[in-house]
Structure 1
Amino acid sequence: MGIGMFIFLFVTAVSVDSFGIGCVLGLKKVKLAFWGIVVIAFVSGMVFLLSSYFGHLLVHVVKPEMAEKAGAVALIGIGIYFLRQFFKKHTEDQQDPWLNPAKVLNDPVTADVDKSGGIQGKEVWLLGTALSLDTIGAGISGALIGLPVLMTAGLIASATFLMLSTGIIAGSKLTSRVESISILPGVLLIIIGLIKLS
């Protein structure tokens, strides 16, 4: 598999959740301003960049072959974790989203903490944090398997912006729930990890 296709799959796996969350927000008529989408995209890219830095530190103390395999195994582990979270769904509905940002991934509307009908102010950072959770492990793993960090971070920020914007527009025109798309990141990360292991 060419590096371009590999990066495409990786970026898609990390950012596709944004589309599903955007759809739910659009479906529920929860507003998110343009600048809010920009902030969330920026947070995703920066979290990937910072976590990749720690991954590069590990590369210097681990043999290249071992680093790549460790990164692949980590991606599979992250994928399995997100699949588990998808099937676990709403078992923690009573938790405060500020204490458990991951809850927002299962129910994006909880990011509207003040129930104002829009995500604004600190709530934008809450949603950005939730969407960035998978980029922490992915950033470390991406560095271990040798992905170009700056380019990948930029692509993740751009893809997050595009998918979240598109999702909100699409969601506003849908009449059924679309949360099942949240299964894709876990599946894609597992596939990418298996490809790197083979």
Structure 2
Amino acid sequence: MGIGMFMFLFVTAVSIDSFGIGCVLGLKKVRITMKGIALIAMVSGGMFLLSSYFGHILINFVAPEDAEKIGASALIGIGIYFLWQFFKKDKTTTEEVEPWLHPTKVLNDPVAADVDRSGGIRGKEVWLLGAALSLDTIGAGVSGALIGIPTFHTALLITAATFLMLGGGMLSGTKLSDKAESLSILPGVLLIIIGLIKLS
């Protein structure tokens, strides 16, 4: 499989959650400005870029033949974690959790990013949603560097894909929200597939 297809699967895996979250926000009529969506997308791309550089530093301490195996194994581990989070979501209780201290709460309940319940995500809340959406790019960035995925171009693609998916999800909101929630299973599946291909 060519590097182009790997990049496509990789970018899809780390950004498709944005579409589902956008759909939920659209359904709940929680607004985000275009500037806010662009900032969230840049946070995701920036976090991938930063974590990828850590991955490139690690390469200096790992034998070349082992780096790809470690990266692939890490992607599989991240994918399994995503699947566990997806299936765990329906079993968790609705306890009050402070989203500023636990950004992962926003992934399970996107409306929690609207901390002040104003009907719009603005100011610091944009950074909160950006941090939540970029959580998966951190581990993926390190692993992606180890398996040889181009850093800068992938970061740009993640930024663009997150912008389009989050914005598109919000526009789709009421029509696709129920179906889009099931897309949350895709990141884990895709990362596992990429890892298995790289290990084979």
Distance in 2 (alpha carbons) for counterparts of 1:99 and 1:175: 27
1:47–1:178 CA distance, 2 compared to 1 (3 A): same
Which residue pairs with 1:113 in the alignment? Answer: 115
Distance in 2 (alpha carbons) for counterparts of 1:133 and 1:93: 22
* Aligned residue pairs, count: 198
Q: Any conservation in 2 of the 1:92–1:103 contact (CA below 8 Å)? A: no
How far apart are residue 91 of structure 1 and its match?
Answer: 3.7
Distance in 2 (alpha carbons) for counterparts of 1:150 and 1:190: 23
What's the RMSD between the two structures over aligned residues? 1.2
Partner AA of 1:25 in structure 2: L
Distance in 2 (alpha carbons) for counterparts of 1:17 and 1:133: 11
What pairs up with 1:32-47 in 2 under 5 angstroms? Answer: 32-47=32-47
Aligned counterpart in structure 1 of residue 182 of structure 2, from 180, 183, 190: 180
Q: Any conservation in 1 of the 2:19–2:180 contact (CA below 8 Å)? A: no
Q: Any conservation in 1 of the 2:11–2:158 contact (CA below 8 Å)? A: yes
Q: Residue deviations 1:151-185, cap 9 Å, x none?
A: 00000000000110111001144474632211111
- Percent identity between matched residues is 74
Distance in 2 (alpha carbons) for counterparts of 1:93 and 1:170: 29
Which residue pairs with 1:79 in the alignment? Answer: 79
1:75–1:91 CA distance, 2 compared to 1 (3 A): farther
Partner AA of 1:192 in structure 2: I
What pairs up with 1:1-198 in 2 under 5 angstroms? Answer: 1-89=1-89, 90-91=92-93, 93-174=95-176, 176=178, 178-198=180-200
Q: Any conservation in 2 of the 1:83–1:183 contact (CA below 8 Å)? A: yes
Distance in 1 (alpha carbons) for counterparts of 2:47 and 2:138: 6
Distance in 1 (alpha carbons) for counterparts of 2:56 and 2:177: 45
| Structure 2: unaligned runs, 5 residues or longer | none
Q: Any conservation in 2 of the 1:36–1:120 contact (CA below 8 Å)? A: yes
How far apart are residue 37 of structure 1 and its match?
Answer: 0.3
Distance in 2 (alpha carbons) for counterparts of 1:181 and 1:123: 24
Distance in 2 (alpha carbons) for counterparts of 1:185 and 1:125: 22
Q: TM-score normalised to the size of structure 1?
A: 0.96
Partner AA of 2:187 in structure 1: P
Distance in 2 (alpha carbons) for counterparts of 1:147 and 1:169: 31
1:133–1:43 CA distance, 2 compared to 1 (3 A): same
4+ residue segments displaced more than 2 Å: 90-93, 172-178
1:62–1:92 CA distance, 2 compared to 1 (3 A): farther
Q: Any conservation in 1 of the 2:20–2:177 contact (CA below 8 Å)? A: no
Q: Any conservation in 2 of the 1:104–1:110 contact (CA below 8 Å)? A: yes
Q: TM-score normalised to the size of structure 2?
A: 0.96
| Structure 1: unaligned runs, 5 residues or longer | none
Distance in 2 (alpha carbons) for counterparts of 1:151 and 1:177: 30
